[in-house]
Every structure is written in structure tokens, then in C-alpha cells.
Amino acid sequence: MGLLEGESWDDYMNKEVYVTYDNGQTGFLGKVMDYNDNFVMVENKEGEQFEIKYPHVYGKWVLEDW
């Protein structure tokens, strides 16, 4: 996901994001738990954590704009 100007991953810590590998055709909502230079750690509603590469994580503002 390209962060908006002035945003950082800190703005998304413990907040809900959308994870999708196919431009929104399928995916899931999760919460950002951690991040580094290579991935975002996202926790799904079942409590499982996944390392997701940045281009596949979207802030919920993207969903509202669609």
C-alpha cells in the first residue's frame, strides 16, 4: 500500500486494515500489530498473525473511496 502523504505505519498500529492479493476481489480485515522494512504483521479476527508485504495491505480509507 502506498501510504498517503504525511502518514506512517505508526498511524495504523492496532487499527483495522484490509489485506488482499487480488485487488480487492477477495481478502480479509485485520489489525496492524507490527511492521518493519519488509512487511506488516497483521492479525486476523481469529488471532492468527501473518507477515504481509506492503503492497497487499490497504488502509480502510481505500475501501471508503471505492
- CA atoms of 62 and 60, how far apart (whole Å): 5
Left, alpha or beta for 50 (phi > 0: left; psi -120 to 50: alpha)? beta
User: Which residue did the predictor score with more confidence, 9 or 34?
Assistant: 34
User: What are the pLDDT digits (tens) for 25-66?
Assistant: 999 999 999 999 889 999 999 999 999 998 898 887 655 555
Q: What CATH number did the domain enclosing 36 receive? A: 2.30.30.140
Cα(first)–Cα(last) distance of the chain, in Å?
15
Range of the domain at 21: 9-65
Torsion sign, CA atoms 22, 23, 28, 32: positive
| Banded pLDDT at 13 (limits 50, 70, 90) | very high
Count up the domains in the chain and report the number.
1
